[in-house]
Amino acid sequence: DISWSLINTTGGNQYIYTSTALIHNNIMYIWRNNNLYYLNLSTGTWTTINNITSQNDGEYHAGVVYGDKLIFYGGGAATNDDQYNNYNVTQIDLTTTPPTSSSFTTLYSGNKSNEPKNRSAMKMFVHNNKLIFFGGYVKNTSNTSNTSGTYYNDIWEFNLT
């Protein structure tokens, strides 16, 4: 039967938004700000690891599962849409369960001319050991229209090997 059904969960105590949800080994992971949230899909139990990293860029990013790792690009802790300022490629190693602060690694620290511009609403996937990054949007905060801003249709790749 094709239909929706609510999954009952326990332990969740916060609204989670502006983040990417990724599933690895029946656990859904969400990195937001410097906290890691994960939901065991077998038990329906949420767990929060507060202050797992000092990196405060777990918002408005794109993320993928790559082997036993979660990889994120972009986003930031913006106070407005012009401040998505994270050019890092960040990796969370899932071979330690639950992940710890040492599970976080910066694979690339950016803000150089030969990389994508900062943005939100981008799409990312892995193909042939490369991150493929597409599109995105940056709102023009000087204009009150919700449609005013810069839309991107560029495609970038980042070699993971």
pLDDT in tens for each of the 161 residues of the chain? Answer: 899 999 899 997 677 887 889 999 999 999 887 888 999 999 999 999 888 876 656 677 889 999 999 998 877 655 554 455 667 888 999 998 888 888 988 888 876 778 887 777 889 999 999 999 999 887 666 655 556 778 899 999 999 99
pLDDT of residue 147: 61
pLDDT of residue 79: 52
Kindly report each contact of residues 90-98 with a partner whose C-beta sits within 8 Å and lies 24 or more positions away, as own/partner.
Answer: 90/55, 90/57, 92/29, 92/31, 92/36, 93/68, 93/69, 94/24, 94/25, 94/29, 94/68, 94/69, 94/70, 95/68, 98/38, 98/47, 98/49
pLDDT of residue 146: 58
Please tell me the pTM assigned to this model.
0.85
pLDDT of residue 77: 55
pLDDT of residue 9: 93
Tokens of 59: 């918002």
